[in-house]
Amino acid sequence: MVAKVVTVSSGKGGVGKTTATANMAAALAAGGQKVVCIDGDIGLRNLDVVMGLENRIVYDIVDVVEGRCRLRQAMIRDKRLPELYLIPAAQTRDKNAVSPSDMVRLCDDLRTDSDWILIDSPAGIERGFRNAIAPADIVVVITNPEVSAVRDADRVIGLVEAEEKGPARLIINRIKPEMVRRGEMLTTEDVLELLAIDLLGIVPEDERVVVSTNRGTPIVLDGKSLAGQAFRNIARRLQGDSVPFLELDNQGGLLGRIKGLFRPGGD
Amino acid sequence: MSGFLDRLMGKDHRSANQAKERLKLVLVHDRTDLAPGKLEALKDELIAVISRYVEIEPDAVRVEMEQEGRQQRLIADIPLRAAAQRRRRG
Ligand SMILES: Nc1ncnc2c1ncn2[C@@H]1O[C@H](COP(=O)(O)OP(=O)(O)OP(=O)(O)O)[C@@H](O)[C@H]1O
Ligand SMILES: [Mg+2]
């Protein structure tokens, strides 16, 4: 086994990095892969609550780096899935407690014994982000179809390229198909044209994301959720499968097609 | 209905299009660290330097950033003054 290290970043905060990390991890693990998640957001840890593992934390990543415990002791196993683990962030320390080379060393120790290592990056482009991308084989950038999120994503994509970790792959999260149809939200094509990188997935706005986060159970295990479906598809694409993108924001439907007829150039 | 008329007349005021057009410009400058004002200054200096060697049409000079994927390219189009025109003037 030689794990691939996938870092999930965004630039702008609150666009869905932690949600995506937890759900890609759960989807991969549900498919029989051995997955280790690392919460890279030291001081503002959240991956533990989103995954529903907050009550089982004993040691954290800073304990590992500073030698207070062995790596295996800081890995919390998610008992609901065959082989899913979390290494939590420290809550009472700051980002400088871990360095990029610490992250590389930690991931090298994990690599031989897992299929995937998923790192949840903090918002911003400072130390925590540098730590998170240092060991990455693949960087996934998450954005929302909204001006400031797209602008910040572009910045992060540029930094990832400069660090020779590119090309990054894009997830567009929280798409509202109805707004897209009205022309009041950027389409997937718009965002791809602006950012000029490969698309890994599109995820709709979905109330069930909040419900599943409330419960601490991944949405990929909810068969009825479209967002869950989207994250399952993303996990498959990471494994190299070619899976068609969900049809979220096309001009489909009779009304859409009629409107399309009147638009000059048909866009 | 006015949105429909705008579309017929080729105008598009829908906010997604405004977002896209605004982002296009912002990203060009973010990626290069070249503020819009600096591009103007660069153009003026370029005109001054080239004019020392060859006669050009200063008003027709265009200096623009072009995108090719995530690659940026600075394109300068500098029309030379026609030889016939030079003779007439000279
Ligand atoms: N597709 C979605 N539909 C509805 N809500 C969503 C969706 N994706 C994320 N959210 C919600 O958006 C909020 C922010 O998500 P999340 O915490 O994953 O973002 P983040 O990028 O990790 O934030 P931070 O930068 O603070 O770490 C959460 O409340 C989450 O439940
Ligand atoms: Mg987060």
How many CB atoms are closer than 10 A to CB B13? 11
Nearest residue (by CA) to ligand 1, atom 10, is: A16
pLDDT lower than 70: segments of chain B: 1-12, 83-90
Q: Evaluate the CA torsion angle A22, A23, A24, A27 in order and state its sign.
A: positive
Domain that holds residue B60: 2-89
Which residue of A19, A174, A226 sits with most ligand 1 atoms within 8 Å of its CB, as the best mutation to test the pocket?
A: A19
Separation between Cα atoms, residue B64 and residue A228, nearest integer Å: 44
Separation between Cα atoms, residue B79 and residue B57, nearest integer Å: 6
Return the pLDDT at B35.
Answer: 77
The strand pair at B62-68 and B71-77 is best described as: antiparallel
List, for residues A16-71, the tens digit of each pLDDT value: 999 999 999 999 999 999 999 999 999 999 999 999 999 999 999 999 999 999 99
Residue B54 exposure: Cα atoms within 13 Å on the Cβ side: 10
* Chain A touched by B18 (CB under 8 Å): no
Name the helix (H) or strand (E) containing A198: strand A198-204
Percent of chain A clearing pLDDT 90 (strictly above)? 90
In a domain, A267, yes or no: no
* Chain A touched by B84 (CB under 8 Å): no
Contact criterion met (CB < 8 Å) for A194 and B27: yes
Return the pLDDT at A258.
Answer: 46
Domain that holds residue A184: 4-262
Contact criterion met (CB < 8 Å) for A155 and B23: no
Please determine, for the modelled complex, whether the ipTM score is greater than 0.90: no
In angstroms, the Cα distances linking A140 to A47, A84, A253, B65 are: 17, 20, 32, 28
Ligand 1 within 6 A of A16 CB?
A: yes
Global confidence as pTM: 0.88
Question: Total structural domains in chain A?
Answer: 1
Return per-residue pLDDT of chain A as tens, 267 residues. 899 999 999 999 999 999 999 999 999 999 999 999 999 999 999 999 999 999 999 999 999 999 999 999 999 999 999 999 999 999 988 889 999 999 999 999 999 999 999 999 999 999 999 999 999 999 999 999 999 999 999 999 999 999 999 899 999 999 999 999 999 999 999 999 999 999 999 999 999 999 999 999 999 999 999 999 999 999 999 999 999 999 985 544 444 444 444 444 334
Closest-lying ligand to the alpha carbon of A216? 1
Question: Total structural domains in chain B?
Answer: 1
The atom number, within ligand 1, closest to the CA of A204 reads: 1
